[in-house]
Amino acid sequence: MKKIVLIFLVTLFVSLKFSSADEGMWIPLLIEKYNIEDMQKKGFKLSAEDIYSINQDCLKDAVVIFGRGCTGELVSGQGLLLTNHHCGYGAIQQHSSIEHDYLTDGFWAMSKDEELPNPGLTATFLRRIEEVTDKTLAGVTDEMSEEERNEKIRENMKSIQDEAEKDNHYNASVRSFYYGNQYFLFVYEVYKDVRLVGAPPSAIGKFGGDTDNWMWPRHTGDFSVFRIYADKNNQPAEYSPENIPYKPKKYLPISIKGINEGDFTMVLGYPGGTYQYVTSDEIKWIKNISNPNKIELRDIRLDVMNRYMQNNDTIRIKYASKNAGVSNSWKRWKGEIIGLERLNAVEKKMELEYQFRKWAESGHNEYVGLLENFSNVYSELEKYDIAYDYYREAIMAVEIVRFASRFEHLLTLLKTEADREDIEKEITNLQHLMDGFYKDYVPKIDQEIFYQLLPLYYSNVSVEFQPDLAQMNFSGNYKRFVEYLYQNSIFDDQPELKELLTIDKIDELTNLKNDAVFQFYQHFNQVYEAKIKPKRDSLNYITHTLYRSYMKGLMEMQKDKILFPDANFTMRVSYGDVKGSYPRDGIKYQYFTTLDGVMEKDNPEIYDYDVPDRLKEIYQKKDFGRYEVDGTVPVCFLATNHTTGGNSGSPVLDAEGNLIGLNFDRVWEGIMSDMIFDPEQSRNISVDIRYVLFLIDKYAGATHLIDEMAIVE
The catalytic residues are: 86, 222, 648
Instruction: Give the closest residue to 456 by CA, choosing from 319, 285, 288, 301.
Output: 301
Instruction: Give the closest residue to 692 by CA, choosing from 638, 635, 653, 649.
Output: 635
Report the C-alpha gap between 29 and 40 in whole angstroms: 17
* Residues whose CB falls within 8 Å of the CB of residue 134, separated by 6 or more in sequence, listed in order: 2, 5
- Strand-pairing partners, residue 578, are 639
* Pairing label, strands 254-255, 711-712: parallel
Instruction: Give the closest residue to 329 by CA, choosing from 283, 285, 290.
Output: 290
Q: What phi and psi values does residue 15 have, to the nearest 5 degrees?
A: -145, 160
Estimate to the nearest angstrom the gap between the alpha carbon of 420 and the chain centroid: 37
User: Which 8-state DSSP code applies to residue 290?
Assistant: I
Report the C-alpha gap between 15 and 528 in whole angstroms: 47
DSSP for 530-562, please give it. IIIHHHHHHHHHHHHHHHHHHHHHHHHH-TT-B
Report the C-alpha gap between 576 and 73 in whole angstroms: 20
Report the C-alpha gap between 331 and 323 in whole angstroms: 12
Rounded-to-5 percentages of helix, strand, coil across the chain: 50, 15, 35
Instruction: Give the closest residue to 608 by CA, choosing from 356, 396, 306, 366.
Output: 306
Instruction: Give the closest residue to 71 by CA, choosing from 649, 575, 645, 643.
Output: 649
DSSP for 559-574, please give it. TT-BPPPPP-SS-EEE
The SS3 assignment for 168 reads coil
Report the C-alpha gap between 423 and 411 in whole angstroms: 9
Report the C-alpha gap between 569 and 126 in whole angstroms: 12
